[in-house]
Amino acid sequence: MLNGLWLSFFIVASIAGLVRWFGGDPGVWAAMVESLFNMAKLSVDVMLLLFGTLTLWLGFLKIAEKAGLVDLLARLLGPLFAKLMPEVPRGHPALGLITLNFAANGLGLDNAATPIGLKAMRALQEINPSATTASNAQILFLVLNASSLTLLPVTIFMYRAQQGAADPTLVFLPILLATSASSLVGLLSVAFMQRLRIWHPVVLAYLVPCALLLGLFMALLGSLSATALASLSSLLGNLTLFGIIMSFLMLGMIRKVPVYETFIEGAKEGFQVAKELLPYLIAMLCAVGVLRASGALEFGLDGIRWLVDWLQWDSRFVDALPTAMVKPFSGSAARAMLIETMQSQGVDSFPALVAATIQGSTETTFYVLAVYFGAVGIQRARHAVGCALLAELAGVIAAISVCYWFFG
């Protein structure tokens, strides 16, 4: 799957480049070659950040692991994961790490979520019978990670505030609804492919209370003012992050774990994981860069605009689609598209609101794919890409629909 996907990026880029060349744009080839080198440089820049982040968090995670916290979470959630990931033994450390990863993602703690997720993926790889083919458990974890629920989209509020929005948190509830739809479709699509029994009473006993608590939390946050919500987002994120670190350290002290030596041991693992990621990251980012530079995405956007006009639908949402089209490939490009839409259309215009909702409810699918599978040497992704992209599409459609519902 990854072989065909990677090759298709270059083939589509070549066709788009030929179309632009014959259309009178001889500079397209220079732009595509320049993009290759730029993305190779960007891969190294990303790796420098990952080196520090992975080294730090895998050090703390090693303390939590030796203190028994990961095993405790694995035992608590064992019945649920026995139904969703039947090939993973009950009490396996991967289950506790997966739980920590989802919690960090939900709170918007990206710096913590990625290292924890990579540790979980490596733990799942230890029980994977194939060295190069993704297991069912790894696919479910990756798809849910790529479509993970975000409760506090602080960065979106920040971008809107920087552009002078009257209420930076106006898109809060639309983002929550859209990202919930994305997560649900991700779970259902994998469940269909893997024949998982998600309606089993044990699964419902875990998921229904979580859904009710999530709904109450959404209702509470939706009742707060913009100032209060922004303050809560900042406080909750930073307090949770530091609280996690201190809980690891205190639990390690209580269990008489040599915390410093254990941190160094885990940090060495983080350095090794980061080093192994670079080839996979360069391969995926360079292919994505060539595709963007070729103008293929612009051709797709023009086709959608023509179709919407032909069907005589409201076309205001089309101006927000550049963000949706580049988000699976590049988070930085999607942010640039979002800011450009805010500046050209107005920060509180309908296209800008849709773009902000899309940005907050979708994920950089191909980056996640490259990093998480690259960390364990997976080359055959099976149905992971299709399910992840389906969840991404659901997030985009839900974002557009919710914005029409909220903002008309």
pLDDT in tens, 46-88: 777 767 777 887 788 788 878 887 777 777 777 877 788 888 8
Range 31-50 average pLDDT: 81
User: What is the chain's mean pLDDT, rounded?
Assistant: 81
So what's the pLDDT on residue 379? 82
Tally of CB atoms within 10 A around 62: 26
pTM across the whole model: 0.73
Beta bridge partners of 380: 133
Question: Which residues are CB-neighbours of 186 under 8 A, at least 6 positions away?
Answer: 143, 144, 146, 147, 387, 388, 390, 391, 394
Where does the pLDDT of residue 224 fall: very low under 50, low under 70, confident under 90, or very high at 90 and above? Answer: low
Question: Which residues are CB-neighbours of 34 under 8 A, at least 6 positions away?
Answer: 293
Q: Which structural domain, as residue segments, surrounds residue 53?
A: 2-407
- Structural domain count, the chain: 1
Q: Looking at the predicted structure, is the pLDDT value of residue 313 above 60?
A: yes
| Higher-pLDDT residue of 230, 163 | 163
Query: What pLDDT digit, counting tens, does each position of 262-297 carry?
Result: 999 888 877 777 777 778 778 877 887 788 788 887
Q: Looking at the predicted structure, is the pLDDT value of residue 158 above 60?
A: yes
Question: Can you tell me the distance from the alpha carbon of 3 to that of 379, in angstroms, rounded to the nearest whole number?
Answer: 8
Question: Can you tell me the distance from the alpha carbon of 171 to that of 153, in angstroms, rounded to the nearest whole number?
Answer: 9
So what's the pLDDT on residue 43? 77
Q: Looking at the predicted structure, is the pLDDT value of residue 33 above 60?
A: yes
